[in-house]
Amino acid sequence: SQELEQSPQSLIVQEGKNLTINCTSSKTLYGLYWYKQKYGEGLIFLMMLQKGGEEKSHEKITAKLDEKKQQSSLHITASQPSHAGIYLCGAGMGSGGSYIPTFGRGTSLIVHP
């Protein structure tokens, strides 16, 4: 099973609609990263959440971290075609204090104009 589970796996929305992507961890989260990947390209860093309850925004994208639920959500308001791509969450998931960068499988987002 995946240590970081993302849902949904894919999402198709109409331009202007709001949407939410979730990332659930099988272990305690001490911090979490969100990245975006355009098709055929490398990952681009969006934001990092370090503390429980922390919320950050970048343009129309907002992410929250709920440490108790071992979960993070990424919310896009008034989606645009430029938001299309694959969104991945990532965290250090090693045991015994080791740091092993781990990523979710990603959520593929398509925004229809």
In the complex, the residues that contact another protein under the rule CB under 8 A are 2, 31, 33, 35, 41-45, 48, 88, 90, 94, 98-106
- Residue 83 in contact with residue 14, Cβ under 8 Å? no
Residue 111, both tokens: 């925004």
Side-by-side strand order, sheet with 55-58: 4-7, 19-25, 71-76, 61-66, 55-58
- Residue 76 in contact with residue 17, Cβ under 8 Å? no
CB closer to another protein, 40 vs 113: 40
CB closer to another protein, 32 vs 84: 32
CB closer to another protein, 36 vs 64: 36
Tell me which residue of 109, 94, 85 sits closest to 7, measured CA to CA. 109
Q: From the CB of 1, what's the least distance to another protein, in Å? A: 13
CB closer to another protein, 3 vs 66: 3
Q: From the CB of 70, what's the least distance to another protein, in Å? A: 19
Q: From the CB of 45, what's the least distance to another protein, in Å? A: 4
